[in-house]
DNA sequence: CAGTGCTCCGTGAACGCTCACGGGAACGTT
DNA sequence: AACGTTCCCGTGAGCGTTCACGGAGCACTG
């Protein structure tokens, strides 16, 4: 028995030969074209089926109208921030008849370059949450339409979508000050390589605190892993530090909720002993106990806007920027 | 100014001509092949860049080793059940070097056929949550590797992954009975077309109830929309019906949590006045107040297993079935 | 009977790329 | 001086499909 290296693909020609017709007739049968005898169609279809024939996407794409595949790079599907963005992207892409391929970096900075490389080869346009400048450059260089989301250090020549946390942080801190808080700790995402850099929530928080005459140096900012557990651990640090913080502001809802739960587990009352405020406005934040005060961001809109920008670039538009303004939703946690 | 119909694509030939070299040399430059003069490569690359040249995915796919794209059809990214499955699928696909295209039906049965049609044309294999027999048939007919998830009426010739709720329901009902409950209501997902059919949670619940000598007719099952709001509304029905239910079992966590919150809003104590049990084991269920007792399902594993089955079919394996056994996690809600 | 229309089917060509091969120039080797 | 090597580069072929065209067969018309 000869070893068949790679079983050659079954082509339209094979089916044609086997059914005693021409390529074109097989094509007509498979694609439901009208100019074919119904009996012939059935026969051809049967032969095709029995041979296990499947038309090649690539050959089709070569000739017919091309399908655009949009690459969507997110950090982690399990992070509840992203599903809403994905939802917006899927909807907006669907409206345009585009396909969406989702890639996840698993929140690992070192994987970003590898993901970027695949993206460059396999999609026609890209919407991405990326932090590594190399990965960003890679995609940008490829020349494909590209929108970078939630990155404060986006090169000016690439389109982006960002959330106006400058305004948001002012509202959040203002709200806490109104409630009488003077000692506010922030739990920052330690996974970001640009911790404390210009435009980050970290520095915007310090700025807003300073505006209200609060202590505003790095001492009040605690690094936390981007997860419930990370928030909880960081809360431990806050408590252990003896800062006497009466309010905690999380980089996002996940961290804030993790911290809040840890505080409760330690016997603290929320918001009496310590108030909590998050960022992002996850659905989740409404459901926890107590419901979390949070800077709500329309994440679905962020996704839709990104697709819109990609579409604009396809028709030759230059780099642009979309800004989403967060809205403070006050709930029982503060 | 003549109207340019569709701006013809920039091909490798265009770049070659413009750079004064051959196709092959451009190809070598673009693909980082060694047999080319560094100076020439730079020049070609610059020309390509300036012309906005981007190699055609399709033409590449025609000749080179083909990339497999796996289609993943889910009901709704916003339903927290799915992200975990997606995560498993992405990971398992990535291990095999596959791409994953995600499609969402938006939980709309009537959209399933349309989605199925796109899927058939655009991917090489498919993992899907689908209910409409027509849509399922469409994909199955196409002959592509196909795994159907969480569908009790799967045709025997198509592979599937299912959750063993027969065992699960017995555990859940048994647990409630142990706690002294005799009047248990179930909140069913009314979106499923096969309500009450064989193998559904609905009928498995009734079976388990009967085993424990509880009242077990359809009266105790209430239809609910698959969402928090749906669960809440269904809880109103339970209360209005005057059944004196002391425990409620949800089709899934979402419905159970919605119901539980509504019960609390109506002044009931959980679990004293009414106990709640969910299905799925969402992360969310740990975070609500009180934490929800639930039949936990390893959703990530479900996704991984589905990909494994698809891979098996690619190498010629026949239809198979994966069964995931849920595990009852008892928390404060019961 | 020639002409006209319709139905069904087959034959080049083209899509844009990579692979396999071959060839010329420049250099060193016998 | 003739011959091998190495380095670059170009040419034909082929991937699997659809589109545009043309042609055969038949029925119906004038």
Distance from residue B10's CA to nucleotide C21's C1', rounded to whole Å: 27
pLDDT tens column, B223-234:
999 999 999 999
The reported pLDDT for the residue numbered B8 is 76
Q: Is strand C in 7 Å reach of the CB of A62? A: yes
In chain A, the residue whose alpha carbon lies closest to the alpha carbon of B61 is A58
pLDDT tens column, A196-226:
889 999 999 999 999 999 988 889 999 999 9
Mutate to test the interface with A, among B10, B83, B278, B284 (most CBs of A within 10 A): B83
pLDDT, mean of residues B295-319: 95
Position A289 pLDDT exceeds 90 = no
pLDDT tens column, B181-194:
999 999 999 998 88
Helices (H), chain B: 12-19, 23-30, 38-51, 57-63, 81-95, 112-122, 133-141, 165-178, 201-211, 228-240, 253-265, 284-287, 299-314
Position A180 pLDDT exceeds 80 = yes
Mutate to test the interface with A, among B143, B278, B287 (most CBs of A within 10 A): B287
Distance from residue A53's CA to nucleotide C9's C1', rounded to whole Å: 21
Helix (H) or strand (E) holding B163: strand B159-163
Helix (H) or strand (E) holding B249: strand B247-250
How many Å is the maximal CA-CA distance in chain A?
86
Q: Helix (H, G, I), strand (E, B), or coil: what is residue B90?
A: helix
Position A259 pLDDT exceeds 50 = yes
The reported pLDDT for the residue numbered A92 is 97
Chain mean pLDDT for chain B: 93
For residue A201 the two structure tokens come to 């929530």
How far does Cα B104 stand from its chain's mean position? 9
Q: Is strand C in 7 Å reach of the CB of B60? A: yes
Q: Do B257 and A57 touch (CB under 8 A)?
A: no
User: What share of chain A in percent tops pLDDT 70?
Assistant: 98
Q: Is strand C in 7 Å reach of the CB of B30? A: yes
- Binned at pLDDT 50, 70 and 90, residue A23 comes out as very high
Domains within chain A, CATH numbers bracketed: 12-57 (1.10.260.40), 69-163+299-323 (3.40.50.2300), 165-297 (3.40.50.2300)
Q: Is strand C in 7 Å reach of the CB of A113? A: no
The reported pLDDT for the residue numbered A44 is 95
* Contact criterion met (CB below 8 Å) for A182 and A214: yes
């Amino acid at each position: 028995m000869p070893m068949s290296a790679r079983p050659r693909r079954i082509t339209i020609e094979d089916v044609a030969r086997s059914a005693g017709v021409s390529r074109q007739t097989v094509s007509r049968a498979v694609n439901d074209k009208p100019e074919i005898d119904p009996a012939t169609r059935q026969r051809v279809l049967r032969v095709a089926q029995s041979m296990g024939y499947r038309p090649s996407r690539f050959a089709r794409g070569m000739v017919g109208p091309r399908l655009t595949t949009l690459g969507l790079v997110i950090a982690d599907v399990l992070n509840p921030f992203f599903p809403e963005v994905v939802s917006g992207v899927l909807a907006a892409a669907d409206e345009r008849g585009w396909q969406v391929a989702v890639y996840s970096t698993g929140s690992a900075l070192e994987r970003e370059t590898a993901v970027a490389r695949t993206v460059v080869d396999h999609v026609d346009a890209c919407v991405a949450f990326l932090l590594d400048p190399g990965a960003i450059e890679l995609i940008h260089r490829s020349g494909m339409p590209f929108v970078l989301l939630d990155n404060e250090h986006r090169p000016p020549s690439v389109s982006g979508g960002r959330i106006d946390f400058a305004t948001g942080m002012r509202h959040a801190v203002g709200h806490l000050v109104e409630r009488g808080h003077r000692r506010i700790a922030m739990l920052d995402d330690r996974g970001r390589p640009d911790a404390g850099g210009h435009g980050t929530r970290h520095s915007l928080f310090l700025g807003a605190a300073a505006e209200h005459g609060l202590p505003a140096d790095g001492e009040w900012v605690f690094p936390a892993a981007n997860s419930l557990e990370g928030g909880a651990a960081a809360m431990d640090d806050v408590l252990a530090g003896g800062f006497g913080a009466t309010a905690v502001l999380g980089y996002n809802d996940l961290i804030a909720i993790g911290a809040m739960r840890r505080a409760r587990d330690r016997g603290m009352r929320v918001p009496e002993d310590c108030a909590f405020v998050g960022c992002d406005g996850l659905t989740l934040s409404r459901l926890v106990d107590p419901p979390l005060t949070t800077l709500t961001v329309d994440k679905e809109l962020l996704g839709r806007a990104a697709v819109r920008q990609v579409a604009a670039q396809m028709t030759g538009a230059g780099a642009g920027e979309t800004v989403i303004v967060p809205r403070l939703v006050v709930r029982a946690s503060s």
